[in-house]
């Protein structure tokens, strides 16, 4: 694997991002994160029509619904529907839980809140209820994950003001906070702040040192990691990963990472630039310093991705891996060694069987191959992967795939 072996120097615990020289920005070839049987490491040679497909069970967690600014039913379009995005799953206390951002319309407008639903089997879901309650203008929330900490279930939320979480911090007042599930009261209660000027991507993960680690973007999109969270909910130190203008041509967004057997961290980044590729980086000191991100050969349509280590000994990665169709298809990749993904399959997600009467006129926009499918989150339970995602940013759904069907991909 060819990539730069440069290390960021952390001069302080404040976020500081050095600018790379032209020589430091160069890499001889993309890091080969993807290596498929037919196309090898050349993403341009992938024949998406010939890739295997994974079928499964499909269900709606929270159906599309009109927002508070309706027009005549004959004129309704997706912009008139409530936002349903940023979905997260967990299995806890004998049932599945899902949270998501629920707003008046697409997307991230004031009064946006976080809602949740539960399920015994992951297919039939309860009616949605609120985690945060509906905030008053100009406040809003974005769902940021479900975290089991010291036996307590926490729902993480980015709280901000105005339209969207990003912009000048003195106007956004962005902060990462948590709500705690109280079983006896059957409701969520405010737990406290994790960090100021922070929005994470997925819940914290445990490091070999027993510290927690999670990603942090500030209100200007600079990427850091937060390490700590053991002594108290707000006990974190921030370490820089990459700044918005640090790597030429790369606009970092929504990174993911995981711990390798040698205790190093392996990171992949969504690029909001024009590369249509994931970027790659590593850390050898539990996230305190990082190699400058470099481009990989793995295609991605400027969208969020998620990776999970399974009990079957391989890792999966779910993302929009076909840039030419943008977000209209979701794919699952498989890595036997946690580093290189050697199989890629399309998730054969069907169209919803029915739509609520209020949005039935939009049936075409919800069809497979037309609707956008984005922001996957994955958990494993009972021999299945449960993949939550958003359709058109207005409907929260789940797709259940047998692990045995993914096993078969590796045996082909």
| 290-313 pLDDT, tens digit each | 999 999 999 999 999 999 999 999
What is the pLDDT, as a whole number, of residue 15?
42
Average pLDDT over residues 64-88: 89
Q: What phi and psi values does residue 157 have, to the nearest 5 degrees? A: -145, 135
- What is the arrangement of strands in the sheet containing 294-299, beginning at the earlier edge strand? 252-259, 265-271, 277-283, 294-299
Cβ-in-10-Å burial (0-12, 13-18, 19+) of 84 comes to buried
User: From CA 388, how far away is CA 371, in angstroms rounded?
Assistant: 15
How high does pLDDT run on average in the chain?
92
Contact 219, 174 (CB under 8 A): yes
Half-sphere exposure of 45 (CA within 13 A, CB side): 9
- pTM score above 0.75: yes
Q: Is the peptide bond before 256 cis (omega within 30 degrees of 0)?
A: no
CB atoms within 10 A of CB 25: 16
% of the chain with per-residue pLDDT over 90: 88
Give 17-35 pLDDT, tens digit per residue: 444 433 344 446 899 999 9
Residue 16 scores a pLDDT above 50: no
Nearest to 389 by CA among 402, 378, 403: 378
Could you give the domains of the chain? Answer: 53-411 (2.120.10.10)
User: From CA 245, how far away is CA 242, in angstroms rounded?
Assistant: 8
Give me 361's structure tokens. 């006129």
Residue 11 scores a pLDDT above 50: no
What is the pLDDT, as a whole number, of residue 122?
97
What is the pLDDT, as a whole number, of residue 21?
36
| Beta-bridge partner residues of 215 | 225
């Amino acid at each position: 694997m060819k990539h730069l072996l440069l290390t960021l120097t952390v001069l302080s615990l404040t976020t500081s991002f050095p600018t790379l020289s032209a020589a430091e920005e160069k890499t001889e070839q993309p890091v080969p994160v993807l290596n498929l049987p037919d196309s090898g490491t050349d993403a341009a040679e992938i024949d998406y029509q010939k890739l295997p497909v994974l079928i499964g069970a499909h269900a709606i967690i929270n159906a599309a619904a009109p927002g508070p600014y309706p027009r005549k039913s004959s004129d309704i379009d997706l912009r008139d529907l409530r936002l349903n995005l940023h979905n997260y799953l967990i299995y806890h206390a004998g049932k599945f839980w899902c949270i998501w951002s629920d707003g008046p319309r697409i997307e991230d407008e004031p009064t946006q809140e976080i809602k949740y639903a539960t399920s015994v089997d992951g297919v039939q879901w309860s009616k949605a209820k609120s985690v945060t309650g509906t905030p008053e203008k100009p406040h809003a929330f974005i769902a940021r994950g479900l975290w089991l900490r010291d036996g307590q279930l926490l729902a993480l939320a980015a709280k901000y003001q105005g339209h969207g979480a990003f912009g000048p911090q003195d106007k956004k007042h962005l902060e990462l906070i948590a709500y705690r599930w109280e079983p006896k009261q059957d409701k969520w209660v405010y737990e406290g702040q994790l960090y100021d000027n922070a929005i994470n991507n997925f819940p914290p993960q445990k490091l070999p040192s027993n510290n927690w680690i999670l990603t942090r973007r500030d209100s200007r999109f600079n990427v850091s990691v937060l390490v700590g969270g053991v002594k108290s909910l707000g006990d974190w130190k921030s370490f820089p990963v990459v700044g918005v203008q640090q790597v030429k041509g790369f606009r970092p967004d929504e990174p993911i990472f995981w711990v390798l057997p040698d205790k190093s961290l392996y990171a992949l980044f969504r690029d909001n630039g024009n590369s249509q590729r994931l970027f790659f980086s590593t850390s050898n000191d539990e996230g305190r310093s990082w190699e400058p991100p470099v481009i990989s050969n793995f295609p991605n349509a400027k969208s969020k991705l998620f990776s999970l280590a399974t009990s079957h000994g391989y890792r999966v990665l779910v993302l929009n891996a076909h840039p030419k169709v943008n977000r209209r298809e979701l794919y699952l990749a498989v890595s036997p060694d946690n580093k290189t993904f050697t199989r890629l399959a399309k998730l054969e997600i069907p169209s919803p069987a029915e739509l609520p009467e209020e949005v039935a006129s939009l049936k075409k926009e919800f069809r497979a191959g037309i609707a956008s499918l984005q922001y996957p989150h994955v958990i494993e339970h009972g021999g299945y992967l449960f993949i939550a995602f958003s359709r058109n940013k207005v409907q929260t759904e789940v797709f259940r795939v047998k692990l045995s069907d993914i096993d078969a991909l590796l045996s082909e």
